[in-house]
Structure 1
Amino acid sequence: MNELSKPFSANIIDGLSMPQFVQLGNNLIAARFDLMKFTPAKYILDTALQDCQLRAGGHVIESSSGTFALALSILCSLYDLRLTLVTGPTSEIVRWRLENLGAVLHTVHASKNCEGGIQQARLNLLTDLHSSVPGSFWPQQYTNPLNSLSYRPVAERALVIQPKINAIVGTVGSGGSLFGIASVLKRRNPSLEVIAVDHNRSVIFGAQAKRISKMCRETFEQILAMGAGIPMGNVNFELCDEVHWVPVPKMVQKVHDLHQRTGMLVGPSSGAALAVAEWRAARDPSQNVLAILPDHGVRYVETLFNPGWLNNWNKDLIRQWGGPRDIASLEDVSEGWCRFKWGRRTYRDVARSDPAPRPAGYDP
């Protein structure tokens, strides 16, 4: 069957399931997704339908405001499934797309009284909704091991394009993409360097930045596509060599720079990953680096690509943030670009050797 004779839905699925691999430098390759979370969303729903955890015409309930929400909306529309989403504040274009695809949205706007922030508040509401709809299916993207497993074909394709990958750089949200791809690449190259990129208001790696820029603090939920206010079960700490915390202004600068150079429109998570990947590639031109760019920039037209919004943060955006500052303790994460050598240790091992106070109740 050739591409044109495939069913319409099959062409859509094929186009969203695999990234485009782009050579961005002599030793830097990017896996550029239009909608990265489509890969785990499809794998999780297909497995649930096959195992009868989810039946034809069934009801899916999940917490997501971003790419996983959009992926579920597309798939549930194609599969004729009902979908309820618990979201945080979303841009008008994202809300329109989700509702136009048939999703029912429950939006959580405030999180001040909930430990773990808005993400935990959303999960609390999701639990209530899931209990009230008998037979509903919850994909549980944050803890479902199928999330990581779904990325195996992506890693295998990357190895066809570049058989020797020395380092992989990716942002961390649920943890599925970076560690799912890295676990496959590591079988080919056990010395693969795995570099995680986080938001400096995130607690995924146990940091509690006491001083961050106003832009980082006030736009975290507005453009959240990485980092988290709660632990993420798919983060494989023992695969991680180092962690970088990249300030939002640096992400935005890199996104604009990439568009100016290539015409590619990507989101802030991609800007964060690309900043670190370019830095790593420049450190050793003999080693090949793979960067994961997780999403298209269309959902950020009201923020990252809106002159009015950008003018609000002009002082941050004209500042030169430079390269990473090496830190010895998670307590030293601050408003700049910080780098911590994780050393493939468990979270508990790092916590024992680091005097930084952990977020209350945090025990991944």
Structure 2
Amino acid sequence: MKYFGANVVESLSFPQFVPLAPNLVAAKFELMKFTPAKHILDDALASGQLRPGGHVIESSSATFALALSILCSLYDLRLTLVTGPTSQIVRWRLENLGAVLHTVQASKNCEGGIQQARLAVLAELRSSMSDSFWPQQYTNPLNSLSYNFIAERVLLSQPKIDSIVGTVGSGGSLFGIASVLQRENPNLEVIAVDHNRSAIFGAQAPRISKMCRETFEQILGMGAGIPMGNVNFESCDEVHWVPVPKMVQKVHELHRRTGMLVGASSGAALAVAEWRAAQKPSQHVLTILPDHGVRYVETIFNPTWLNNWNEDLVRDWGGPREVSSLQEVSEGWCRFKWGRRKYRHVAGSDPAPRPAGYNP
């Protein structure tokens, strides 16, 4: 690692714990996915799966891509990324750090199908790169395990946590941190936050807002159209589906109140966490804010871009509506009591077959 790398690692690996209400604290990351990316690459280098100067290849358009780019630059590794549409600032950062990008445009095949399209391209590229290392962020158990030291720091520095609220993409951060906290407090409530076009928890709202339909691939680092191997359904107590405009409203509100600039996924987690803390004032709530807002300067912090979605953004999305089945999830903010059940016990079947390229 380059001589200044240790300072970079420290600043990106550890969150700040920011109190936002008497019973609500946020673990605010500069770049949350740096934690699993580093853990996975360090393990691969130690085990010989990845050689010094070797080649890494992964599917990611968001913070995991940026984390890999930083680490591969620090470690003098080559990096190929299969991405979806990215903002100009994100693309510049990835390429400036040395990554080679293969961009897959939004998939029209199915709801949330961008991950499937990217993985198909990744599989084709890997067939001609036999010496490359694939971190497999979606299913690699090291993703979840990498958050152990952060959870241990929570136990040392915070009061007893009664509820943890986090968005779900690969599932690593929320369920990795929760698994450690549940050893200390088996009654810890794990509240997962998704968006209502995602298929992770088996529900896709048949009717969604225009902003959700046309921007989620562009601005979100959460949700998915494929099953995610690091989602621990049996430790999940509750799921919230939050519409994109509600997330953006919450991000803007947080900035007005605190000056903190965070991304849309953080807005989703914060909306649910604030609601939860208000509902249970005697309980301590921890929420995870996964990234800085700089990658959104062309979108959710751009007045011109925001004007395209004014109708959805001026709407009062209110609080969550409790639903009793996945089929009731709608365009608004919905809440469902998962009850630590297996996926098939809630959805009626096992998750859909894994797509091409999804072969850990």
Establish whether TM, by shorter chain, passes 0.5.
Answer: yes
Q: Is the 8 A contact 2:104 2:118 kept in 1?
A: yes
Q: Match of 2:226?
A: 230
Number of residues paired by the alignment? 355
Q: 1:43 aligns with which of 14, 39, 46?
A: 39
Give runs of aligned pairs for residues 279-298 of structure 1, distance below 5 A: 279-298=275-294
Equivalents in 1 of 2:300, 2:12: separation in Å?
Answer: 23
Scaled by the length of structure 1, the TM-score of the pair is 0.95
Unaligned runs of 5+ in 2: none
Equivalents in 1 of 2:213, 2:351: separation in Å?
Answer: 17
Q: Match of 1:3?
A: none
Q: Match of 1:300?
A: 296
Pairwise CA distance, 1:161: 1.7
Q: Match of 2:54?
A: 58
Name the SS of the counterpart of 2:160 in structure 1. Answer: coil
Q: Is the 8 A contact 2:112 2:197 kept in 1?
A: no
Pairwise CA distance, 1:208: 2.0
The reply to whether residue 210 of structure 1 matches residue 206 of structure 2 is yes
Deviations 1:134-153 (A, max 9, x none): 21000000000000000001
Deviations 1:279-313 (A, max 9, x none): 00011111000000001000000000000011111
Give the direction of change, closer, same or farther, for the CA distance of 1:210–1:278 in structure 2 (3 Å limit): same
Q: Match of 1:100?
A: 96
Q: Is the 8 A contact 2:343 2:350 kept in 1?
A: no
Equivalents in 1 of 2:338, 2:78: separation in Å?
Answer: 42
Equivalents in 1 of 2:244, 2:350: separation in Å?
Answer: 23
The reply to whether residue 190 of structure 1 matches residue 190 of structure 2 is no
Q: Match of 1:314?
A: 310
The reply to whether residue 84 of structure 1 matches residue 84 of structure 2 is no
Equivalents in 2 of 1:246, 1:362: separation in Å?
Answer: 25
Q: Is the 8 A contact 2:227 2:351 kept in 1?
A: no
Deviations 1:196-230 (A, max 9, x none): 00010000000021111011111111112100011
Give the direction of change, closer, same or farther, for the CA distance of 1:253–1:358 in structure 2 (3 Å limit): farther
Q: 1:134 aligns with which of 115, 130, 133?
A: 130
Equivalents in 2 of 1:112, 1:44: separation in Å?
Answer: 32
Q: Is the 8 A contact 2:83 2:103 kept in 1?
A: yes
Pairwise CA distance, 1:113: 3.9
Equivalents in 1 of 2:322, 2:346: separation in Å?
Answer: 16
Equivalents in 2 of 1:210, 1:110: separation in Å?
Answer: 19
Q: Is the 8 A contact 2:112 2:199 kept in 1?
A: no
Equivalents in 2 of 1:225, 1:298: separation in Å?
Answer: 13
Q: Is the 8 A contact 2:344 2:351 kept in 1?
A: no
Give the direction of change, closer, same or farther, for the CA distance of 1:115–1:130 in structure 2 (3 Å limit): farther
The reply to whether residue 25 of structure 1 matches residue 21 of structure 2 is yes
Q: Is the 8 A contact 1:165 1:290 kept in 2?
A: yes
Structure 1 window deviating more from structure 2 (217-226 vs 98-107): it is 217-226
Q: Is the 8 A contact 2:151 2:180 kept in 1?
A: yes
Give the direction of change, closer, same or farther, for the CA distance of 1:225–1:81 in structure 2 (3 Å limit): same
Q: Match of 1:266?
A: 262
The reply to whether residue 241 of structure 1 matches residue 237 of structure 2 is yes
Name the SS of the counterpart of 1:140 in structure 2. Answer: coil
- The alignment-based identity, stated in percent, is 80
Q: Is the 8 A contact 1:321 1:336 kept in 2?
A: yes
Pairwise CA distance, 1:110: 3.9
Q: Match of 1:323?
A: 319
Cα RMSD over matched residues? 1.7
Equivalents in 1 of 2:251, 2:154: separation in Å?
Answer: 23
Pairwise CA distance, 1:115: 8.1
Equivalents in 1 of 2:220, 2:266: separation in Å?
Answer: 12
Q: Match of 1:145?
A: 141
Equivalents in 2 of 1:13, 1:218: separation in Å?
Answer: 35
Equivalents in 1 of 2:117, 2:276: separation in Å?
Answer: 37
**Which amino acid in the other structure matches residue 223 of structure 1?**
I
The reply to whether residue 16 of structure 1 matches residue 22 of structure 2 is no
Name the SS of the counterpart of 2:317 in structure 1. Answer: coil
Q: Is the 8 A contact 2:190 2:236 kept in 1?
A: yes
Q: Match of 1:174?
A: 170
Pairwise CA distance, 1:315: 1.0
Pairwise CA distance, 1:118: 1.2
**Which amino acid in the other structure matches residue 38 of structure 1?**
F
Give the direction of change, closer, same or farther, for the CA distance of 1:234–1:188 in structure 2 (3 Å limit): same
Give the direction of change, closer, same or farther, for the CA distance of 1:317–1:113 in structure 2 (3 Å limit): closer
Q: Match of 1:349?
A: 345
Equivalents in 1 of 2:112, 2:273: separation in Å?
Answer: 30
Give the direction of change, closer, same or farther, for the CA distance of 1:362–1:106 in structure 2 (3 Å limit): closer
Name the SS of the counterpart of 1:345 in structure 2. Answer: coil
Pairwise CA distance, 1:320: 0.7
Scaled by the length of structure 2, the TM-score of the pair is 0.96
